[in-house]
């Protein structure tokens, strides 16, 4: 995701001299490509994210399209007051980019885990909140936030995330992408956990449970229409996010479901516990501990559906009550 973002930003800056990149003394190995080609459009603000954000707001109010970039909590929580008062309050054309969404920087501990950002950022007025699910979505999302007039938050993974889409997806801010059709359950994913949602859907299909997969790449504004359609058309809804269970995708979807005029289907939110992570390890290890690996997700979906699977029986699986 990170590589896709920088490659796209370099391409866009070639045609638009208003685009600027302000970093918090990192991104080296990626940011150099931008800095070397556009030295007059690049600023290293140092390890001073509050100043980085205030500087970006001033540049934006002077007519620039400004991207701020850092890892984990640093471009978001460390400078939250500046984002709220300098960027959002003035509706400044600043695009805040955080790399390392969720537990990407797992081995560095809780100070580098990005697990509360969606909850906090989606309540800020005027701020778009975008968390693309794979490199193809990153490319499309970067282009979309450049075109949007106003503040945006772009949450990225790191690097090496698998591609989910075969080509360029029909990306539109505020409109979920239908990745896979299904009628038994809808898996709604945001961010890099999208690939896991697709794997889970494929494994469930082998057991005759057809899962619809939605990439909810935009949390603010949320695609309520797609959520309500899933509630009407499928037997249950499960949200997946590498984020705290409080305030993120699951909370946003639940808020939309309570507005339904008809009966809401069974609903389950899967995410990270709202606590500091006491373990140290790689992203995969920490996700497994949190129950967000493929096996645990499948077990949770089956539990929600109350399904007992017998692969030797043809047709739709019977529920435990039916047996």
Q: Are 125 and 96 contacting, i.e. CB atoms less than 8 angstroms apart?
A: no
Q: Note whether 220 and 293 are same-domain residues.
A: yes
Q: Note whether 9 and 111 are same-domain residues.
A: yes
- Pseudo-torsion of CA 223, 216, 114, 67, nearest 10°? -80
**Does a cis peptide bond (omega within 30 degrees of 0) precede residue 16?**
no
Q: Which residue has the higher pLDDT, 308 or 133?
A: 133
Residue 309 has pLDDT above 50, yes or no: no
Identify the CATH number of the domain in which residue 132 sits: 3.40.50.970
Residue 33 has pLDDT above 70, yes or no: yes
What integer pLDDT is reported at residue 237 of this predicted model? 98
pLDDT tens digit sequence for 256-282: 999 888 788 999 999 999 999 989 999
Q: Over range 224-236, report the average pLDDT.
A: 96
Q: Note whether 9 and 143 are same-domain residues.
A: yes
Answer yes or no: is 315 within a domain.
Answer: no
Q: Note whether 228 and 265 are same-domain residues.
A: yes
pLDDT tens digit sequence for 69-112: 999 899 999 999 999 999 999 999 999 999 999 999 999 999 99
Q: Note whether 48 and 134 are same-domain residues.
A: yes
Answer yes or no: is 162 within a domain.
Answer: no
Q: Note whether 29 and 102 are same-domain residues.
A: yes
Answer yes or no: is 319 within a domain.
Answer: no
Answer yes or no: is 318 within a domain.
Answer: no
Task: Give me the domain span that covers residue 129.
Answer: 2-156
Identify the CATH number of the domain in which residue 227 sits: 3.40.50.920
Q: What total of structural domains would you count in the chain?
A: 2
Q: Note whether 196 and 285 are same-domain residues.
A: yes
Q: CA nearest 186: which of 148, 236, 232?
A: 236
Q: Write down the pTM of the prediction.
A: 0.92
| Tokens representing residue 66 in the block | 């400004």
The β-bridge partners of 128 are 152
pLDDT tens digit sequence for 184-226: 999 999 999 999 999 999 999 999 999 999 999 999 999 999 9
Q: Note whether 149 and 230 are same-domain residues.
A: no
Q: Are 138 and 111 contacting, i.e. CB atoms less than 8 angstroms apart?
A: no
Strands (E), the chain: 19-23, 42-44, 65-71, 94-99, 128-130, 152-156, 177-180, 185-189, 211-215, 218-220, 237-244, 267-272
Question: Where does residue 74 rank: exposed (0-12), middle (13-18), buried (19+ CB within 10 A)?
Answer: buried
Q: Note whether 128 and 230 are same-domain residues.
A: no
Cα-Cα-Cα-Cα dihedral sign, residues 312, 316, 321, 323: negative
């Amino acid at each position: 995701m990170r590589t896709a973002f920088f490659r796209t930003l370099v391409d866009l800056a070639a045609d638009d001299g208003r685009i600027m990149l302000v970093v918090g003394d990192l991104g080296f190995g990626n940011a150099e490509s931008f800095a070397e080609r556009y030295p007059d459009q690049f600023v290293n603000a140092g390890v001073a994210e509050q100043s980085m954000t205030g500087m970006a707001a001033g540049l934006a109010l002077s007519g620039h399209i400004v991207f701020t970039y850092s890892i984990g909590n640093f471009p978001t929580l460390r400078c939250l007051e500046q984002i709220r008062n300098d960027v959002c309050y003035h509706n400044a054309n600043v695009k805040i980019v955080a790399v390392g969404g969720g537990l990407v920087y797992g081995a560095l501990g809780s100070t580098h885990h990005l697990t509360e950002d969606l909850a906090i950022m989606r309540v800020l007025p005027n701020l778009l909140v975008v968390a693309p699910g794979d490199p193809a979505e990153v490319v499309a999302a970067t282009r979309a936030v450049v075109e949007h007039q106003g503040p945006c938050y772009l949450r990225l993974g790191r690097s090496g995330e698998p591609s989910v889409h075969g080509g360029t997806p029909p990306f539109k801010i505020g409109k979920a992408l239908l990745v896979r059709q299904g009628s038994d359950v809808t898996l709604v994913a945001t961010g890099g956990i999208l690939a896991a949602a697709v794997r889970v859907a494929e494994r469930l299909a082998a057991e005759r449970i057809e899962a619809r997969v939605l990439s909810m790449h935009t949390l603010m504004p949320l695609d309520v229409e797609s959520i309500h359609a899933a509630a009407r058309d499928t037997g249950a809804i499960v949200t997946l996010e590498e984020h705290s269970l409080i305030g993120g995708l699951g909370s946003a979807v639940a808020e939309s479901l309570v507005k339904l005029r008809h009966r809401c289907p069974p609903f389950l939110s899967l995410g990270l516990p709202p606590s500091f992570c006491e373990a140290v390890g790689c992203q995969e290890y920490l996700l497994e501990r949190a129950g967000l690996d493929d096996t645990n997700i499948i077990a949770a979906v089956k539990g929600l559906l109350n399904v007992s699977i017998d692969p030797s029986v043809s047709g739709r699986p019977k529920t435990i009550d039916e047996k």
